[in-house]
Structure 1
Amino acid sequence: MLPGRSRWTPLWVSLSFAAIFIALRIFYRLLFGSFSWIAVGQAALLALPFVAVIVACGLFSSLIDFRKLLVSLSGLKYSRSVGTALTIALASFPTLLAQVKKINTYRTLRGITSRFAVVVPVLEHTVEKSVALAAAMELAGFGSRGQLREANPSPITLEKYSLSFGDHTVLNNVSVSFAPGTVTVLTGATGSGKTSLLESIAGLSQHFHAGITSGTLTLGTINRLRVPPRDTAALIGFVPQNVRLSFTASTAREELEYTLRLHGETMELIPSRVDELLSEYGLRDYADVPVDLLSAGQATRVALASALAASPQILILDEPLADLDSASVSELIEILDRLRTSGMTIVLSEHHTAALQALDPRWLVLEAGEVSEGQFVPASMFPARALPLTSSDLILAVTGLGVAHGKKKVLSDVSFTARTGDIIALTGANGVGKTSLLNALSSTQSAGVVEVLGTDLSTLPAKQKVRLVASVPEQASWLFMSESLAEELEYADKIAGVPADTGLTELTFRSLLSRDVLSSKLLRTHPRDLSAGTQRALAIALQLSWKPGVITIDEPTRGLDPHSRSAMAEVLRCVAETGTVVVFATHDGEFARSLNARIFTVAERTLIHPEQVNA
């Protein structure tokens, strides 16, 4: 259940949308005709059938737990398509109002004044959420008429396998095999096709994303190209890159219950099995917390527990270490080692590979759609600076900052200052409040708590704060408002008042990715279709267009290969030296040290043990 959401929230939301729908019908009727009460009445009457459907959905969603009902319906012969659509609609409907509010928040973070700018992003996020939910349901076995398993763990084999989408070839003539009881790590540059290979093994590329394939891909005796993901849900556990989008239920407990029901677990055994999973994966402390309030690392734990709930023979993970603190990384390594020993086949992609050395894995490199043995080595790296260029000019002063979520106090008495050239890294365990602190730096309403370049942020309207503190959130795509990369870059210059011919945001974006030019194909790409690392670089470039006094970034290296991380570090050094203080939350200690950052630990509800670390 979402924060502040009661049982009847879906009904109130539906009534609000119904009223808006009637008002819009009346407005358009009068816009293209003359005013009369008869015309108003006719417009309202024509809207009533649609309004009845909207209100009925809200009422039923309040009265009935459709998720549990639809799990039972999923195996019926003619119910799968209808059930999938209903589950997606009902899972998305209660969050729609919250989504509109969230988009509005990020519209403000971009410094965009027009409220109409949120219309397209809201629709696109709704579609993105729906597609991710449908994929998650498919992978969990929704609608399967019989789960396939192999009697013994069997190898995954690709023979001359190719995958393309339209005229774009993603994988080219790949021949590789993954043996039971092994761990294989896929490495490669950002956007090299690692996710596509993982989704091919899971069956999403062929059966869900409608990719064009040739060659063969088998799971033991199972022909992956003929068998959809829902029929191998008991065989494969899958943890996607953006786990939040894949949650069907409201809490970790409900998500595990839902998964177990889909796998045919009896109602009598589900509670005890859920308790086992909550304990095994360290989820007890937030088992009943809304998933939207979980940290990225906590959400990853929930997704892992759900993927392993049915004891699959194959586990696929897409960049699982990106959001985990050091303790959680160690725990995951132990889990993977135990699963490998039991005979499970484990295939994962990852840029942060140091911790994985303990598993003695097999390393593969993806480059230009082809797979080869070995570990990815970037073509070049930017040298770290010996010392940052600093001055005595005070940029940021934080005094006694506190953060609370409702009645729960998250942080208190946070105080620090930063000057020209300063880069500050916030580290700490998952869920301690790093993201909350970043958010508070740009949204504080308390007088005298946060001052940037001598200006008290509480004295400014929200839309003007971006000129002093620009923020890049955990999920970069929330900042995107346009339908192509080229439009997004141009729009950023426009709203920040950058001269049209300068191309400042594009220059920053190319610098972050270390590219001399951007191809016309890439410029036409929708921002949400970019790889996770490229999205992160784009979001940072967009916010830097304001030339703010401070920029806050949540996990700047997520999804970036070593070369791109090095390019990111070089840009952030330059940004800091030109007068913008960089404050970021990270689990990537090596990256923070390469920047000569001032490293703070968030713990015990405040900042502790500030430390100047030199590379």
Structure 2
Amino acid sequence: MIRFEHVTVTYPDATRPALADLDLVVPEGELCLVVGRTGSGKSTLLRAVNGLVPHFTGGRLEGRVLVDGRDTRDHPPRELADVVGLVAQDPQAGFVTDSVEEELAYSMESLGLPDPVMRKRVEETLDLLGLVEVRDRALATLSGGQQQRVAIGAALTAHPRVLVLDEPTSALDPGAAEDVLAALHRLVHDLGMTVLIAEHRLERVAQYADRVVWLPGGARAAVAGDPGAVLAEAPVAPPVVRLARLAGWQPVPVSVRDARRLAGPLRDELPAPPAAAPRPTGDLLRARGVRVSYSGVEAVRGVDLAVAGGELVALMGRNGSGKSSLLWAVQGSGRRSGGSVRLDGVDPADLKPAVRRRSVGLVPQQPDDLLYLHTVAGECAQADRESDRSAGTCRAILERIAPGIADDAHPRDLSEGQRLALVLAISLTPEPRALLLDEPTRGLDYPAKTRLAEALRELARAGHAVVLATHDVEFAAECATRVVVLAGGEVVADGPTAEVVTASPIFSPQVAKVLAPRPWLTVDDVRTAMAAR
């Protein structure tokens, strides 16, 4: 169904290819997972399937890409629309209408399908992706996760033979991600659809994959094959695979179910995990009775949240539970319908923007909102000046989170993960007393997330308060000292990380599921315990 024949893609003014000498065959009816470090060429590979590379992006494509027998050099994206559906990393950038139903119908209208067919497919897709309750909503009023499901649905309604998805679960809560991936799995198995997915949260997707393609980056050849065998050698691998490496399990499992069958001896050998450290005293940030309403809809309902200096709090909950609204209300520039917020005794909403940035920083879901200069070096230098830091401070932070990004690169030309890393570096430069992050791991690979976790832990050790809204249960398990769960705009759980996440199978990390009932959370925790033993 998809064939890459010695494909090399080089973008204008680039010093090296984004994709080098790729040979790959994806048969019909397979779910193929593309993995690799941030910036390794995953998005380029996906966009070459529907002809966006090079017809839209420019640059030079050597070799050829065949999709259902059509050469993408001779067929631009509009001539592949009946075969290939693409869901990009940023769903908002691809929307062409204003409401959910209109967006779901748009691709079918472009193909000239009759009205009864369109109506039937819209209803099927609303049910398939759990969008019935928001069918009449404006796209701009949806949460990031809801927008992502609409983008997936808009591609599905055209009934393409090939579906290409770039980070399809990055903005979805764990339950919604499972539902979407299960739906894709059914389409592959029941209808013979070919699905190509690039994803950093491999713990969600690996178990569904028939084949994994690892892009090492640079001039190294891609590696394709059985998921367990490929991920066992790749530097990016889900926790269950890294646990298997540590324990020496063979064959390497990619699902929790298979790992549990091998984990009995390890569970018996491990000691009890250490008790959680006591919560720091002296609240630095305190919100009382915060309410946020939009057009009569109450997104946040009287939330109380106290965060001490030295705490790293993960704010979790399903899409639309009020996490982003709460962060913006606490930061001071967002809507607040009621309640109060105090940071060091001052309401951030009363501070001027420059002063507020140094007091409470916020990294939004859409990192592009904070990028407006033409080079990475320019953005970093501007962050240093605005934060009154010595030259090179922001650049050093960026190098720690995502090394190797060129100074002269345009921020808009970076991958989603690299842009996010740049915005994180800009936000960390002033070392705000409180730092709020909204889905800070979207587009980041596992090594980058580990480096980000260490940077956040350093801030916490220095007495700063850190709050991150996230659906990434593995990241929360790795770095959070406390987890607060929202549902319907209200707090439904608040406690130490291990206590909260292991109480719910939805929010439980892979290691905890494999080693249950022993409450171990991460591979590093297990490695430390094994070394001590």
TM-score of Structure 1 vs Structure 2, range by shorter chain? 0.7 to 0.9
Question: Which string of whole-angstrom CA distances, capped at 9 and with x for unpartnered residues, describes residues 240-261 of structure 1?
Answer: 1111110000011111222211
2:442 maps to which residue? 558
**Offset, 1:378:** 4.5
Matched, 1:572 2:456: yes
Q: CA deviation at 1:423?
A: 0.6
Do residues 407 (structure 1) and 296 (structure 2) align? yes
The match for 1:497 is: 388
1:581-605 Cα deviation digits (max 9, x unpaired): 1111111111111114311111132
Distance 1:417 1:307, change over 3 A: same
Q: Deviation digits for residues 523-557 of structure 1, max 9, x if unmatched?
A: 00111221111111111111122221111111111
1:347 to 184, 196, 211: 196
Higher helix share: 1
The correspondence for 1:229, drawn from 73, 77, 92, is: 77
Deviation at 1:386, TM superposition (A): 9.2
Partners of 2:89 and 2:167 within 8 A in 1: yes
Q: Is structure 2 residue 207 aligned with structure 1 residue 358?
A: yes
**Which of 491, 496, 506 pairs up with 1:607?**
491
User: Structure 2 matches for 1:476-487, cutoff 5 A?
Assistant: 476-487=367-378
Match of 1:87 in 2: none
* In structure 2, C-alpha distance between the alignment counterparts of 1:395 and 1:173, rounded to whole Å: 53
Contact 2:363 2:436 in 1 (8 A): yes
Query: What TM-score results when the alignment is normalised by the length of structure 1?
Result: 0.70
Superposed CA offset, 1:339-398 (max 9, x none): 11121111110111112233242111102253112233249x9xx999779743431111
Unaligned runs of 5+ in 2: 225-229, 243-272, 499-520, 522-533
Contact kept, 8 Å, 1:447 with 1:456, in 2: the verdict is: no
Query: 1 CA distance for matches of 2:123 and 2:474?
Result: 36
Name the SS for the 1:567 alignment partner. helix
Cα gap change, 1:288/1:397 in structure 2, threshold over 3 Å: closer, same or farther?
same
AA aligned to 1:471 is L
User: Which residue number in structure 2 is paired with residue 180 of structure 1?
Assistant: 28
Relative to structure 1, the CA distance from residue 385 to residue 419 in structure 2 (aligned partners, 3 Å threshold; closer, same or farther) is farther
Match of 1:203 among 51, 55, 60: 51
Secondary structure of the residue that 2:281 maps to in structure 1?
coil
* More deviation, 170-179/256-265: 256-265
Distance in 2 between residues matched to 1:361 and 1:386, nearest whole Å? 40
1:95-174 superposed matches below 5 A: 155-166=1-12, 167=14, 168-174=16-22
Corresponding letter in the other structure for 1:201: V
Give the aligned residue type for 1:359: Y
SS of equivalent to 2:17: strand
Q: Report the more deviating stretch, 472-481 or 348-357.
A: 348-357
| CA shift digits 1:445-464 (9 cap, x unpaired) | 68971111222334434443
Is the Cα contact below 8 Å between 1:548 and 1:580 reproduced in 2?
Answer: yes
For 1:360 and 1:459, locate their aligned partners in 2 and report how far apart those are by CA, in whole Å. 51
Indicate if the aligned counterparts of 2:36 and 2:217 stay in contact, CA closer than 8 A: no
Closer, same or farther in 2 for the Cα pair 1:269/1:183, shift >3 Å? Answer: closer
Q: Do the aligned partners of residues 339 and 468 (structure 1) sit closer, same or farther apart at CA in structure 2, a change above 3 Å counting?
A: same
Cα distance in 2 for residues equivalent to 1:352 and 1:385 = 27
Q: 1:525 aligns with which of 409, 426, 436?
A: 409
Q: Deviations over 1:409-432 (max 9, x none)?
A: 111221121112101111111111
Q: Which range moved further: 578-587 or 263-272?
A: 263-272
**Equivalent residue, structure 2, for 1:584:** 468
Amino acid at match of 1:499: S
The sequence identity of aligned pairs, in percent, is 31
Show the counterpart of 2:331. 442
CA spacing shift, 1:225–1:437, aligned 2, 3 Å: same
1: distance between equivalents of 2:439 and 2:46? 23
Deviation for aligned residue 1:216: 2.1
SS at match of 1:413: strand
1:284 aligns with 132
Cα offset, 1:198, TM superposition: 0.5
Structure 1 equivalent of residue 508 of structure 2 = none
Change (3 A) 1:203 1:459: closer
Q: Could you tell which deviates more after superposition, 193-202 or 603-612? A: 603-612
User: Partner of 2:235 in structure 1?
Assistant: 377
Task: Identify which range, 453-462 or 554-563, moves more after superposition.
Answer: 453-462
The question of whether the paired residues in 1 share the 8 Å contact of 2:291 and 2:338 is answered with no
Alignment match, 1:72 = none
| Deviation per residue, 1:504-540 (Å, 9 max, x gap) | 2122222222x3xx56xx1001112211111111111
The answer to whether the 8 Å contact 1:390/1:420 transfers is no
Kept in 2: contact 1:447–1:458 (CA 8 A): no
Equivalent in the alignment of 1:74: none
User: 1:24 aligns to what?
Assistant: none
Q: Distance in 1 between matches of 2:488 and 2:68?
A: 50
SS at match of 2:126: helix
Q: Secondary structure at the match of 2:358?
A: coil
* Corresponding residue for residue 379 of structure 2: 488
Aligned partners of 1:482, 1:488: CA distance in 2, in Å? 6
Matches within 5 A, 1:44-59: none
State the alpha-carbon separation in 1 of the partners of residues 338 and 493 from structure 2.
Answer: 26
1:327-338 matched pairs, under 5 angstroms: 327-338=175-186
Q: Write the distance in 2 (CA, Å) between the matches of 1:565 and 1:412.
A: 32
CA contact (8 A) 2:199 2:205 kept: no
* Separation in 1, partners of 2:487, 2:426: 31
Give the Cα–Cα distance (whole angstroms) in 2 for the partners of residues 605 and 165 of structure 1: 45
1:544 matched to 2:428? The reply is yes
For 1:234, the aligned partner's letter is D
Say whether the 8 Å CA contact 1:184–1:347 is kept in structure 2. Answer: yes
Query: In structure 2, do the counterparts of structure 1 residues 459 and 241 end up closer, same or farther at CA, with 3 Å as the change threshold?
Result: closer
Structure 1 residue 280, shift from structure 2 partner: 2.7
How far apart, CA to CA, are the structure 1 residues paired with 2:379 and 2:200? 27
Q: Deviations over 1:123-147 (max 9, x none)?
A: xxxxxxxxxxxxxxxxxxxxxxxxx
User: Is the 8 Å Cα contact of residues 447 and 459 (structure 1) preserved in structure 2?
Assistant: no
Q: Secondary structure at the match of 2:177?
A: helix
Alpha-carbon contact 1:387-1:596 (below 8 Å) kept: no
The answer to whether the 8 Å contact 2:320/2:488 transfers is: no
Comparing 474-483 and 540-549, the one that deviates more: 540-549
Looking at structure 1, the residues matched to 279 and 384 of structure 2 have their Cα atoms a distance apart, in angstroms, of 28
Pairs within 5 Å for 1:414-433: 414-433=303-322
Tell me, in whole angstroms, the C-alpha distance in 2 between the residues paired with 1:416 and 1:483.
39
Distance 1:268 1:347 in 2: 30
